[in-house]
Structure 1
Amino acid sequence: MDRLLKSISYIFHPLLMPLFAVAYYFSISPRYYPPEIIKAKFVALFILTIILPLLLYLILKLIGKVNTVNLSTTKERIYPLMLNSIVVLIILKKILTPSQSPELYFFFVGILISNISCLLLAIMRFKASIHMIAITGVFMFFIALSIHFSINLNNTLIFMAIISGAVATSRLHLKAHSYIELIIGLFLGVIPQLILVTYWL
């Protein structure tokens, strides 16, 4: 059980969630996107949401700004969250447009809002769960997609509900967060996505 709960934290890591949401969006969207456009966006987002953050983390570790990948203290979180906010801004400026794919554009706007909110809390020395922010933000996005495209995504939504619970259980089991930190993370993930659906739903 210990190994299972640890693996859940790694499999559903916050770095992977945006790309997972993008891949799922293109797989269910009734809109036609040329395959070369999908591939170009996917590759660009893979580099910006996974490869670049990992490289930035290594740089921060080398210069002593972070100690572990878990970012276990609020002080360690400040620089990664600041840099991640800049990365998301680059994505919104260079990769996604509200006219071409409004759903993805505002999904990433929601990610930016959640990220900045988490950063502000870290500055105030409160450690909201980034895992919960990521998984519940994607969960809310999928709910909105189901309504927006009038597609039955019940199996996906049930899966996401189970995984959200599993991630919360994993973070508690690993003593990475308290109940309140998980609850705040949930709200930081859901509320921005919920507010922004009014712009594209």
Structure 2
Amino acid sequence: MKKILPLFSYLFHPIFIPVFGTFFYLFFTPNYFEFNQKYLILLQVLLITIFIPISFFYLLKAIGKVDSMMVSELSQRKIPLIIQAFLIYTLIQRSITLDRIPELFFFFFGGLLSTLLTLLFLFGKIKASIHMIGISSLTAFVVGLSLHNQINFMCYIAFLILMNGVVASSRLEMKAHTNIELAIGFFVGLLPQLALYFFWL
């Protein structure tokens, strides 16, 4: 099991969470989008939240600003987080807008708030687990979709709750975080999503 656990740090890497949330919304909940529109939205999210950040990562690695995809050092996290915040802001201003896709808008807006909180903690030399931010925010979003659409997503929610524990165990096994850092990450991801329920549920 200890050999398998690190795999979950890659499967549920924070860079994939926006795509997971978007895919779940588009293909598991009732909405007015046609299939070609769904794939176009998913492609936009893929481009802005995965392909562009990966390009920036290789640039930052080439100039010595980061050393791995996990960005474990506090000093290496500021630039990637600033880039992430800018890209999410661009996404919710240009594509995933409030009037067009309100559910996804608040999911990404919550992600933006979590990113800014993580940056704020960095200036206080506090390290939050970005993996836990990602998986806890995704869990809260799926719970919100279940409540919003009155659809029973209990199997998916139970799976995501389990994955919160598995991802936390994975980060501990890889000695990437302490229990406190994992807890901080969990709440930094969860609380903005819960707070935004007020606006879309």
Fold shared per TM-score above 0.5 = yes
Within 5 Å, give how 1:9-158 maps onto structure 2. Answer: 9-158=9-158
Structure 1 stretches of at least 4 aligned residues deviating more than 2 Å after TM superposition: none
Per-residue Cα deviation, 1:20-60 (whole angstroms, up to 9, x for no partner): 11101111222221222211111111011111100001111
Per-residue Cα deviation, 1:103-134 (whole angstroms, up to 9, x for no partner): 00010000000001111112222110000000
Q: Distance in 2 between matches of 1:96 and 1:141?
A: 15
Which amino acid is the alignment partner of residue 110 of structure 1? G
Paired residues of 1:12 and 1:167 also in contact (CA < 8 A): yes
Q: Distance in 2 between matches of 1:4 and 1:37?
A: 37
Unaligned runs of 5+ in 2: none
Q: How far did 1:100 drift?
A: 1.7
Count of residues in Structure 1 that have an aligned counterpart in Structure 2: 201
Secondary structure in 2 aligned to 1:6?
helix
Q: How far did 1:2 drift?
A: 2.9
Which amino acid is the alignment partner of residue 70 of structure 2? N
Residue 4 (structure 1) aligns with: 4
Which amino acid is the alignment partner of residue 44 of structure 1? Q
Q: How far did 1:65 drift?
A: 1.1
Which amino acid is the alignment partner of residue 176 of structure 2? A
Q: How far did 1:66 drift?
A: 1.1
Q: What is the identity percentage for the equivalent residue pairs of Structure 1 and Structure 2?
A: 37
Secondary structure in 1 aligned to 2:152?
coil
CA RMSD, aligned part only?
A: 0.9
State the TM-score, normalizing by the size of structure 2: 0.97
Q: Distance in 1 between matches of 2:85 and 2:63?
A: 20
Bigger shift: 183-192 or 119-128? 119-128
Paired residues of 1:74 and 1:123 also in contact (CA < 8 A): no
Unaligned runs of 5+ in 1: none
